[in-house]
Structures are given as C-alpha cells and as structure tokens.
C-alpha cells in the first residue's frame, strides 16, 4: 500500500509540473517584474552562432540604462543586424516592440553587436525585457542563422 501511495504522489507532482505549476494567467495580464522576470526559455545557440549576451539570459536587477550586447562566433553581415532582425520587447507595456529606440552598432573586430539606449532613455523600473534574434541574420558569407534565438532579463 505504501508503494502505491508513493507512486500516486509522484504522478500527481509530475502532472502538476507539466501543467505549469498551476499558474494560469490571462493572455493580457502583464507578468513581468522584479520578482517575476520574463518567462523566456533560452533557445540553444543556433549552430553556435551566438556565444554570449549582455545582460545574460535570466539576469535580474539589471540597471534601467544597461545597453544590450550580442557576441557572435563568426564574422557577421552588419546589414542583417537591424531593428527588423533583432526585436526588443518591453514587458511592462504589453510586450510592445522597442528596438527602434536603440542605436545598432556592430564591431567587426569584436564580433559584437551593441544595442545602445539614448542617454535620456531607459527601460523603466520593474520591467521584463525579451530580445529575439531572428534566424534571418547572416554571417559575412551571407548564410542565414536559420533559427531564432531568444533571451531575456529583468530590470530593477
């Protein structure tokens, strides 16, 4: 009888975890904030193209004025790194796209793309930011990455 009870409890716990821990929310409810960072599942780096991000995926208490940086494993086509292929979503304002407020600057010698905020700008406090790098970005030989990459962080 004890073994059956343990199996039932284990099954119930597994189902609870599979169903998202019972956390059901309205599709329009804003869930981002300092205690609840954006729900981002970082996709694996497509074919090793992206080697690092700043802030790192899942970072919390990030300063409101922090610029975003994406480091690549290979030389990139700078023309493909723009506000159409790199999306920045503002969780505090209904996941609105805010990438147009950034200056995009690619440093070839570092293989790094910088998304720089204007000096008079910031994300706002208690915000969740998601960044989506489209699979349409290209390396220097004009080959597409092929799969999207996503990361996110929480602003204090």
What region, left, alpha or beta, does residue 5 occupy, with left being phi > 0 and alpha being psi -120 to 50 degrees? alpha
Burial class (CB in 10 A: 0-12, 13-18, 19+), 2: exposed
The DSSP 8-state label assigned to residue 124 in this structure reads -
Q: Decide: 88 and 99 in contact? Cβ < 8 Å.
A: yes
Q: What is the CATH number of domain 31-155?
A: 2.60.40.1220
Closest C-alpha among 98, 127, 123, 122 to residue 36: 127
Domain parsing of the chain, residue ranges:
31-155
Q: Over its length of 156 residues, how does the chain's per-residue pLDDT go in tens digits?
A: 544 444 433 434 443 333 344 333 333 344 444 444 444 444 445 558 999 999 999 999 999 999 999 999 999 999 999 999 999 999 888 889 999 999 999 999 999 999 999 988 888 888 999 999 999 999 999 999 999 999 999 999
Q: Return the SS3 of 12.
A: helix
- pTM for the full predicted model: 0.70
Helix, strand or coil, per DSSP, at residue 79: helix
């Amino acid at each position: 009888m004890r073994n059956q009870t343990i199996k039932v409890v284990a099954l119930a716990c597994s189902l609870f975890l599979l169903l998202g821990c019972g956390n059901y929310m309205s599709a329009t409810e804003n869930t981002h904030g300092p205690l609840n960072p954006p729900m981002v599942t970082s996709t694996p780096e497509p074919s090793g193209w992206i080697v690092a991000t700043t802030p790192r995926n899942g970072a919390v208490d990030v300063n409101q004025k922090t610029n975003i940086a994406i480091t690549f494993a290979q030389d990139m086509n700078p023309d493909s790194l723009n506000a159409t292929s790199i999306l920045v979503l503002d969780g505090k304002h209904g996941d609105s796209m805010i990438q147009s407020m950034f200056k995009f600057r690619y440093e070839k010698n570092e293989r790094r793309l910088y998304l720089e905020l204007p000096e008079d700008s910031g994300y706002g406090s208690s915000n969740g930011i998601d960044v989506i790098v489209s699979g349409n970005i290209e390396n220097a030989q004009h080959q597409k990455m092929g799969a999207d990459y996503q990361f996110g962080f929480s602003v204090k």
